[in-house]
Structure formats: structure tokens, C-alpha cells
Structure 1
Amino acid sequence: MKTAEEIIETNKKQKEFYNNIKQNFFTKIWAKIRNGLLNRIRKSIGVQDQAYQLHKEWLGDLSNKKVLDLGCFAGNYLSLYLAENAQEYIGIDLSDVAIAKLNERLKNIPTAKAVAVDFLTDEFSEKDFDIIYAYGVLHHFPNTTILIDKLNEKLKVGGLIVSYDPLETSWPIKLIRTLYRPFQSDAEWEWPFTRKTVEQYKKAFTILDRRGVLGKSKWMAIMNFLPLSQNKLNEIGRKWHNQDWEQSKTSDKVLYSCMHVTMLMKKN
């Protein structure tokens, strides 16, 4: 298991990668699958908008909240929403190139700023956050124990974490990722959640809500090759997604069949 110092060294490589994104052939193929086919499925069954809407509900009234947008790059889907509505907003990312772009977008919001800094280093001294928004970020840390300690250090008691990350707990995804990993450009900082990872968060925080995405509905990637109308495919996909979405709140079996998990966690 990597130490904090080793992760910080890896993060320097990660910074350079995202400042000058150069994906190899295999990573480009995976990105096309992830951002092409899977995104089309998510849009057709309404997953994407539903997840963002749920996040807004979880975030609640931000007018008296200090918010950290962790690993925000040049701004995720909710970055401007957070910046415009929070009492204080700080976005951080390793990439100074991305942060410069985000600061340009934030220039007319006096209570918001973005900083290029490593979350694990002493250079980032801000704390007492009411909310940490971490969209597609927590799985970039290979040592979950170190990350959880840092999250606890930065949050107020009763503070919230809203997260969204990939899972590798279903057998087809685990197989694909195992075959792909030796060729992956960003393998050093890509650690999709395992069952153990989820259990660590369960022990460290109170999980107020959670939802799995692309469980049964991930098979729409194959269903699309069947001679069915698009309306019928969308109907099947929405039905399967709703089952994933609702049942994963309480069923580990359903959750671990999914490709992604979003969680609302509270510091005890």
C-alpha cells in the first residue's frame, strides 16, 4: 500500500498528464467506449441528469456553507452552481492549466476561487468545510485510509461528502479492467472502488444515501444490437436503470453489480 509521500510523487506525474493529456492507443479506445457508448446509454435512460439532480438535493441550501470542489479540473457539471450558491467556494485540482481556466470562469464571483494544489500536502491548509464535492475523484487515491483521514481532517463535524466513482465489483467489468490495466496510460492513479473500498467508507462515515448506476442497465450495450426499436430499447433501459437506482440503496448485491456508485456521506 502506497504511503502519502509516494502518492504525492505519483500526483506530480498525474499533474503533468492532465496538463498535457497524451493517451496511448488503448486508453483512447477505452475513453471512446466510456465517453461514447456508455454515455449514450446513460443519456437515453436518463441517468446523467438524474444523478446531478440528486446531488443538488443532497447538497441542499448552500447559502451558509463552505464548499470544497475536490479534483474539479477546469470545472465539472456542478462547479459553477456550487460557486454561485455557496457562502464560500474553493475548487482545487492538480492541474494548474485547468485551474487557470476555472478561475477565468469564476472571476465575477467574489466568494469563489480555484487553486492548483495537491489535497494531501500541507500546502493546502484550508479546513472546516461543510461540504466536499468529489465527482470522479476519490478513486484516484490508491490508499483509501490516507484519503479518509484527510477528508476527516478537512470536514467539520457533521460535514457532508458527495461522491461519484467507478466500481469494479461486477465480474464483466473486473475482467475488462484487468485485461486493460497493463496498457492503461493513467493506471497509477486509477483505482476503481472494490468491495473493500466501499466497506472502508461505510466504517469511516455515515452513509446517508447511495445509488448504483449501470448495473443491469449496462447490458444495454448488447441489447442495442438486437432488432428492437429505439423506443423499446429506451423503455427496457429505463426500467432496468430504475431497478438499479432504487434497489442499490439497500442491496449490496445490486450495488456491486453496478459500474458506478454515488454516495452521500456524513462525518460523525
Structure 2
Amino acid sequence: MKITESILETNKKQKEFYNNIRQNFSTKIWANFRNGLLNQIRKSIGIQDQAYLLHKEWFGDLSHKKVLDLGCYSGNYWSLYLAENSKDYLGIDLSDVAIAKLNERLKPFPNAKAEAVDFLSSDFADKDYDLIYAYGVLHHFENTDILIDKLNDKLALKGEIISYDPLETSLPIKIIRTLYRPFQSDAAWEWPFTKKTFYQFQKAFVIKERRGLLGKSKWVAFLDILPISANKKKIIGQKWHQHDWDESLASDSVMFSCMHLTMLMQKR
């Protein structure tokens, strides 16, 4: 599928944004909610650690794998681990400022490097990756068909993708996002997964495993208004999260009630 000039121009604007982050008021409000309250919920009931550990399990033996760390900025939670343990590692991001920082961190690893390049552009010609790690990245592409074509082009035979992205399939979250989106400074490259997006990936790849996060557990914050102890709130939150985690493996309805989705996908 042809990559249009408008997509590449949007990515240039995205590069400028992340090189000189300037969030407007509404974007800052959402960021504070996401990085404040939601992070507090994730940490208090162990959601984030569980997702990271699952990703490490999904990596498997990296010693023979060529790895692409897609949209890694200056390094995500697992970037240095991937760089140290994989046969070949490349981290890419639009931001040359962030990539310069990552290259400094990669100096101890001779088989690792980072490049500031647009994944969709012809400037990025490398391929045959055994693993593409895309943490918080795939939802930055508005055109899912073009993204899927490019992912398939870059993967080796039976290559895998590990993704982690926001969903807007929960009605309350969709309403909130719809209300603030017109005022959002990064709206042009923020496209949380819809049901259609998920089914596009499901059709294009073999989804070997998936987990939803922040379904029932996203309502833990409202327990603060009840006269219960912090420990009791934590126990309830962990129970709700485990329900999200376990049931989203097979139930679309539970998965779509969640705010985040992580997947292990394999090239068909």
C-alpha cells in the first residue's frame, strides 16, 4: 500500500513535537491523569510489573534474534536488556535528540545501535527482524493497513511483534477522549485502538497471546470515596485486575472493556 506524503509530513511534525515537547493545557490534563492516577493504580496493584515480566517471557531466547525496538525514544523499560541479549539490536525513533541519548547508553553493547528514522519511509530499508518490540507505539499510526503492510515487510519468516497500546473501546474512556481530542496537541498521531483496529491486526497476524489491562480495575480510584482501608482497596483492585488479565485472554467483551492491550503476534 502506498505511503502518502501527508503521512510522512505528519511524522515530521511528530518528530518536532518529541524533540521539543510542548503540550497544551488539555493534553497536560490527560497526561497528568494517565501518568498520575493511572500509574498509581498500576503500581499499587502490580499491573505494570506483570505486563513487563510477560514481555520478557515472550522475548524468549534472544541470542539468535535480530531485534527492532520500534519507537523506543531514548530507551524504554526493556531497551538495554534487548540490546545486551539479542544477536543484533536496532532501536529507532523519529526523535534524533532521543536517539542520540540512546546511542550513548548502547556503547557497552557492540551488536546494538540506534537510528533516528521514520519507520514508514524509504530511508528505513533494513528487514528480516525476528522480533519487533513496539511498546506504546502502534497506536501512533493512523493508517493501520499501511502499518500492517510495513510490519509484515520488516519481519522475518515467523517473526513476532510484541505490542502495548491504549484502547478506546470502553465507552466511558471513548467519551472522555472524544471530548478532549479537539484540544489535544498530539491528536494527529494519537490513535488508540478501536475494535476495527484490533480485528485488522487479528486478520493480519496470528495473535499467540493477548492481555487486557485496566478494565474493571480502572475503577479502583473510586474506592477512595468508600470507608475502606488502603489494604482492602488494594485487595479488591488486585482481584479486579486478575479478572481483566485472565478473562481478556479469550473474551473479546472483557478485552474491549480495558484501557490497555498487550499482544504477542506472529507473522502468518
For Structure 1 versus Structure 2, the TM-score category normalised by the shorter chain is over 0.9
1:117 aligned partner: 117
Distance 1:54 1:158 in 2: 20
Please list, as runs of the form range in 1=range in 2, the aligned pairs for 1:214-233 lying within 5 A after superposition: 214-233=214-233
1:141 aligned partner: 141
2:42 aligned partner: 42
1:171 aligned partner: 171
Q: 4+ runs of 1 displaced by more than 4 Å? A: none
Q: CA RMSD in A?
A: 0.9
Contact kept in structure 2, 1:161 and 1:266, CA below 8 Å: yes
TM-score by length of 2: 0.98
Please list, as runs of the form range in 1=range in 2, the aligned pairs for 1:47-196 lying within 5 A after superposition: 47-196=47-196
2:203 aligned partner: 203
Provide the secondary structure at the position in 2 that maps to 1:224: helix
Shift of 1:224: 2.3
Distance 1:3 1:85 in 2: 33
Shift of 1:214: 0.1
1:259 aligned partner: 259
Shift of 1:5: 2.2
Contact kept in structure 2, 1:4 and 1:120, CA below 8 Å: no
Provide the secondary structure at the position in 1 that maps to 2:226: coil
Structure 1 stretches of 5 or more lacking a match?
none
Contact kept in structure 2, 1:62 and 1:86, CA below 8 Å: yes
2:4 aligned partner: 4
13-22 or 223-232, which deviates more = 223-232
Shift of 1:227: 1.9
User: Which amino acid is the alignment partner of residue 171 of structure 1?
Assistant: L
Shift of 1:119: 0.2
Distance 1:112 1:224 in 2: 46
Distance 1:145 1:187 in 2: 19
3-12 or 193-202, which deviates more = 3-12
Give the length in aligned residue pairs. 267
TM-score by length of 1: 0.98
User: Which amino acid is the alignment partner of residue 205 of structure 2?
Assistant: F
Question: Identity of paired residues, percent?
Answer: 72
User: Which amino acid is the alignment partner of residue 183 of structure 1?
Assistant: F
Contact kept in structure 1, 2:3 and 2:120, CA below 8 Å: no
Distance 1:66 1:205 in 2: 19
Distance 1:168 1:131 in 2: 26
